[in-house]
Chain A
Amino acid sequence: MKQKKLTDSGLEKVIEIKGLYKSFGSFDVLKGVELDLFKGENLVVLGKSGTGKSVLIKIISGLLTPDAGEVLVLNKYVERISYRELLELRLKVGFSFQNSALYDSMTVAENLKFPLVRNQRNLSKGEVNRAVEEVLDSVGLLQTINQMPSELSGGQRKRIGIARTLILQPEIMLYDEPTAGLDPITCLEINNLINEVQERFHTSSIIITHDLTCAKAVGNRVTILLDGKFERQGTFDEVFITEDERVKPFYDYNFIQ
């Protein structure tokens, strides 16, 4: 259980979001979102399906453009910078997809080499291979190096997806539903991996989930997206010891039912 809240004062903000709006057609998803991510912390974003949690991190990584508002990532406004600058920024922002998004026509090793050889062209073949082996070892899947993604289990795919982002040594990690669709034991393994990544690679992370066990295990801070805005922020207990009828069902479903 992770209840240690990193103090806001004196900590450097690595992500700062102000007045963020996003809609799809006539459906307003984000309605004035304000959010800060501090250096070295794991921030868990909770919320019902379809409330715009994934949209939020896709805007942070520049995959979607906001309708209004400012997104400052590592002192750069994502919506204002050129494509070249965005690519440079993305080297420092890792993104782990909900369905892992592994390149299914490539082996595990080729999946990991793909971003590395294209972003660090001066590396020798031996250095690339060593980096691939090291990062695979760090997620405990060195034995899968020559396997195809279709031969891996759901949990293994998630871990390879995380390894693919770690190979670029990012400063920020964005996890989209890291435990979705996994059995409880694999969920625990993924939670441990997220904590290990934080400690070993000193990353700051946003973890999108509706799994409260995951939130409790990995989050230094937890926040809930309700009706397009962040309503409650704090440690897990600070957020969930409440009589708020919009929040209580989350807790009740995960820990009582």
Chain B
Amino acid sequence: MENKADTSTVLKKEAKNPGKLTRMFLTLYDVFQFIVRFFREGFLPPYEGKELLRQCYDIGYRSLLLISTTGFITGMVFTKQSRPSLAEFGATSWLPSLVAIALLRTLAPLLTALIAAGKVGSSIGAELGSMRVTEQIDAMEVSATNPFKFLVTTRVLASTITIPILTFYTAMIGMLGALLNVSLSEGTSPTAFFQTALESITFLDITASTIKAILFGFTIGIVGCYQGYNSSKGTEGVGKAANSSVVIGMFLIFIEEVVSVQFFGLFRT
């Protein structure tokens, strides 16, 4: 009888103060439920079309300047750094192909996703976190509105839609950077540059890049929203939500990059 009482007390205590491992599994389960809820709420009416467009504008249009600058510099620097190695074999004519493949397969998706994780992920985390701690999310709940649909679904969808578009935009701007470098060094005409570059790109490259970018966009949106939506502990919680959105988002993007390179590599052989 006494043992039974002790076990019950321990279980009760464990339920209220879970250990590290239990907490980790509880968080994973919570994240899984959050993702399931996104798919459930995302496809059921009513739809928040206006808010979705506003978020696409916020995430996409407002990131353009940063992404353009980074993409252009990356294309130019990558070309400059690659030239000496190719020149050793007299293969500088391969530069357009090399840059195009590198940009489309890895550099553009990864660069765009990392920039978005920093800019968009942190902003989503901080915005939702601050709405949580100032009870604005609760205010939506009690006014018979579904805050998940309005805040989470729209932001995750917006980042899933806009990151692939931004990825191809980054690739294009990167190519312009590369063209500038190649034109200045070797006097290659834009027509010849793009013809060589486009010939080397396959349908698989475009498909793989699109799928990766969609996955990155979804990850950035979900991580930012999960961290912000579940933040607590006042202003400290808002800071943590913004920070974790970036750190966890970037970490997951690198893991996804490694996995996708292996996966799409299977189709290239």
Q: How far is the CB of A61 from chain B (nearest CB, A)?
A: 5
Q: How far is the CB of A164 from chain B (nearest CB, A)?
A: 7
CA distance A114 to B151 in the complex (A): 13
Do A93 and B142 form a contact, CB below 8 Å, given A25-B16, A26-B16, A118-B46?
Answer: yes
Q: Which residues of B contact A123 (CB under 8 A)?
A: none
Residues 115-158 of B, flagged 1 when their CB comes within 8 A of A and 0 if not, give 00000000000000001001110111111111000100000000
* A88 lies within 8 A of B138 (CB): no
Q: How far is the CB of B87 from chain A (nearest CB, A)?
A: 54
Q: Which residues of B contact A25 (CB under 8 A)?
A: 16-17
Q: Which residues of A contact B16 (CB under 8 A)?
A: 23, 25-26
Residues 77-113 of A, flagged 1 when their CB comes within 8 A of B and 0 if not, give 0000000000110110111010101111000000000
* A103 lies within 8 A of B145 (CB): no
Interface residues of A in 181-233 (CB under 8 A from B): none
Do A114 and B136 form a contact, CB below 8 Å, given A25-B17, A121-B46?
Answer: no
CA distance A61 to B139 in the complex (A): 11
Do A95 and B142 form a contact, CB below 8 Å, given A25-B17, A121-B46?
Answer: yes
Residues 166-180 of A, flagged 1 when their CB comes within 8 A of B and 0 if not, give 001000000000000
- Central interface residue in B134, B135, B141, B143, by most chain A CB within 10 Å: B143
Q: Which residues of A contact B17 (CB under 8 A)?
A: 25-26
Which A residues form the contact surface with B (CB < 8 A)?
Answer: 23, 25-26, 58, 61-63, 87-88, 90-91, 93-95, 97, 99, 101-104, 114-115, 118-119, 121, 164-165, 168
Q: Which residues of A contact B146 (CB under 8 A)?
A: 87
If A88-B144, A165-B143 are given as contacts, then 5 extra A-B residue pairs at C-beta distance below 8 Å, sorted by A number, are: A63-B141, A102-B139, A118-B150, A164-B143, A168-B143
* B142 lies within 8 A of A99 (CB): no
CA distance A63 to B131 in the complex (A): 15
Interface residues of B in 192-221 (CB under 8 A from A): none
Which B residues form the contact surface with A (CB < 8 A)?
Answer: 16-17, 46, 131, 134-136, 138-146, 150
* A101 lies within 8 A of B141 (CB): no
Do A63 and B142 form a contact, CB below 8 Å, given A25-B16, A101-B135?
Answer: yes
CA distance A103 to B141 in the complex (A): 13
* B144 lies within 8 A of A97 (CB): no
* B144 lies within 8 A of A101 (CB): no
Q: Which residues of A contact B150 (CB under 8 A)?
A: 118
Q: How far is the CB of B145 from chain A (nearest CB, A)?
A: 5
Supply 9 A–B pairs (Cβ within 8 Å), ascending by A.
Answer: A63-B142, A87-B146, A90-B141, A101-B135, A103-B131, A115-B140, A118-B144, A119-B145, A164-B139
Q: Which residues of B contact A115 (CB under 8 A)?
A: 140, 143-145
Shortest 3 CB-CB contacts between residues of A and residues of B = A115-B143, A101-B139, A95-B142
* B135 lies within 8 A of A97 (CB): yes
Q: How far is the CB of B6 from chain A (nearest CB, A)?
A: 17
Q: How far is the CB of A65 from chain B (nearest CB, A)?
A: 13
Do A95 and B144 form a contact, CB below 8 Å, given A101-B134, A104-B134?
Answer: no
CA distance A253 to B141 in the complex (A): 36
User: Which of chain B's residues has its CB closest to A91's CB?
Assistant: B144
User: Which of chain A's residues has its CB closest to B141's CB?
Assistant: A63
CA distance A168 to B145 in the complex (A): 11
CA distance A13 to B140 in the complex (A): 27
Q: How far is the CB of B132 from chain A (nearest CB, A)?
A: 11
Which of the residues B131, B139, B144 comes within 8 Å of A87, measured between beta carbons?
A: B144
User: Which of chain B's residues has its CB closest to A26's CB?
Assistant: B16
CA distance A164 to B142 in the complex (A): 11
Q: How far is the CB of B267 from chain A (nearest CB, A)?
A: 43
* B139 lies within 8 A of A90 (CB): no
CA distance A26 to B136 in the complex (A): 28
* A63 lies within 8 A of B138 (CB): yes
CA distance A87 to B140 in the complex (A): 10
Q: How far is the CB of A114 from chain B (nearest CB, A)?
A: 7
Q: How far is the CB of B141 from chain A (nearest CB, A)?
A: 6
* A99 lies within 8 A of B143 (CB): no
* B145 lies within 8 A of A97 (CB): no
User: Which of chain B's residues has its CB closest to A64's CB?
Assistant: B138
